[in-house]
């Protein structure tokens, strides 16, 4: 006997839809078939779902508006060689790359200058420039008579020199293992060896003139700040070049036409 609409409201419509889609196990199938058999609402639902599915399959399609055959131009544009070139020189990518390089370079420059400023602020206030000059002169005078044999241990010499001038010595392990005598000699007479730009030990009171130089100079003679500065400048220039390349090219083409 058919059940009322009130009964149907309590029935699982999704189960009926799943029955139509064949997505039920044996137990669910038996339950769904029973509902379809005894409930008018479920039977109508089952019939409607089927009718809608049939109508969907039969939905007319308007005629295609054009032929989709590829032209020679399309084929050339889609060829791997053209795609690679397009990727390499794509405007969007070029702009992204240029922008990234400019950001990187600018950040590097800001970082370098910030380190310089904060480094200068951090220098001890107890030592003024005159005191530093006096210390350097004393250190140079003391260190000058010390012979510098070819196989000399630089750290040992530095320790001896600082002991003579009563300036606290830096630990020997901070010195480079075996600097050449020429390097050592060149550092002594009134122009103490300094790192890179020649200012790194100006505010380093705990170290004698020669020691921090050996500690901060890399094997190539560049200090880290200079490397960052150079790299940042290069990145900035490269980024600007990428960003301005289209305008430069347009200008060059315009000039060539004229």
Partner 1 sequence: MALVEEALRGRLEAFNQLVARHQDHLFGLVFRLVPDRDQAADAVQEAFFSAYRNLESFRGGSVRSWLGRIAVNAAMDMQRVRHRRPVQPYPEFEDDSWQPPAGEETEPESQSLALERSRALARALGALPFEQRNCIVLFDVDGYDYAEIAGIMRVSVGTVKSRIHRGRLALRSALAPNRELFRG
Instruction: Let me know: does 156 contact 172? Beta carbons within 8 Å.
Output: yes
**Least CB distance to partner 1 at residue 49 (A):** 5
**Least CB distance to partner 1 at residue 10 (A):** 16
**Least CB distance to partner 1 at residue 87 (A):** 12
Q: Which residues contact 138 (CB under 8 A, 6 or more apart)?
A: 165, 167
- Residue of 93, 115, 111, 89 lying closest to 231 (CA atoms): 111
Q: Give the nearer residue to partner 1 in terms of CB position, either 67 or 128.
A: 67
Per-position DSSP letters for 161-211, written without gaps between them:
HHHHHTPPPPPGGGS-S---HHHHHHHSSSS---STTTTTTTT-TTS-SHH
Q: Give the nearer residue to partner 1 in terms of CB position, either 26 or 72.
A: 72
**Least CB distance to partner 1 at residue 85 (A):** 14
In the stretch 132-171, what mask flags binding to partner 1 with x, by CB under 8 A? ----------------------------------------
Within residues 2-31, the interface with partner 1 by CB under 8 A covers 13-14, 17-18, 20-21, 23
Exposure string over 102-132, b if 16+ CB within 10 A, otherwise e: bebbeebbeebeeeeeeeeeeeeeeeeeeeb
Within residues 73-102, the interface with partner 1 by CB under 8 A covers 74-75, 78, 83
Please give the DSSP secondary-structure letter assigned to residue 3: B
Q: Give the nearer residue to partner 1 in terms of CB position, either 79 or 103.
A: 79
- Residue of 200, 203, 235 lying closest to 221 (CA atoms): 200
Told to check if 72 binds partner 1 by CB under 8 A, we report: yes
Count each helix (H run) and each strand (E run) in the chain, helices first.
Answer: 12, 0
- Selected from 1, 9, 10, 61, the binder of partner 1 by CB under 8 A is 61
List of residues contacting partner 1 (CB under 8 A): 13-14, 17-18, 20-21, 23, 45, 47-49, 51-53, 55-62, 64-70, 72, 74-75, 78, 83
């Amino acid at each position: 006997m058919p059940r009322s609409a009130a009964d149907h409201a309590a029935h699982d419509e999704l189960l009926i839809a799943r029955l139509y889609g064949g997505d039920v196990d044996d137990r669910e199938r038996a339950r769904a078939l029973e509902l379809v058999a005894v409930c008018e609402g479920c039977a109508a639902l089952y019939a409607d779902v089927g009718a809608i599915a049939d109508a969907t399959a039969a939905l007319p399609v308007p005629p295609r508006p054009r032929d989709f055959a590829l032209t020679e131009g399309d084929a050339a544009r889609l060829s791997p060689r053209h795609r690679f070139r397009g990727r390499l020189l794509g405007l969007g990518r070029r702009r992204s790359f240029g922008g990234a390089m400019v950001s990187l370079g600018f950040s590097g420059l800001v970082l370098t200058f910030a380190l310089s400023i904060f480094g200068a602020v951090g220098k001890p206030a107890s030592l003024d420039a005159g005191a530093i000059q006096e210390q350097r002169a004393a250190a140079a005078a003391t260190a000058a008579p010390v012979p510098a044999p070819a196989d000399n241990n630089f750290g040992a010499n530095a320790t001896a020199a600082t002991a003579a001038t009563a300036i606290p010595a830096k630990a020997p392990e901070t010195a480079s293992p075996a600097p050449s005598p020429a390097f050592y000699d060149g550092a002594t007479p009134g122009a103490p060896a300094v790192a890179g730009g020649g200012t790194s030990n100006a505010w380093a009171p705990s170290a004698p003139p020669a020691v921090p130089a050996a500690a901060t100079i890399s094997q190539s003679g560049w200090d880290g700040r200079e490397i960052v500065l150079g790299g940042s400048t290069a990145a900035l220039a490269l980024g600007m070049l990428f960003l301005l390349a289209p305008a430069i090219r347009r200008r060059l083409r315009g000039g060539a036409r004229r």
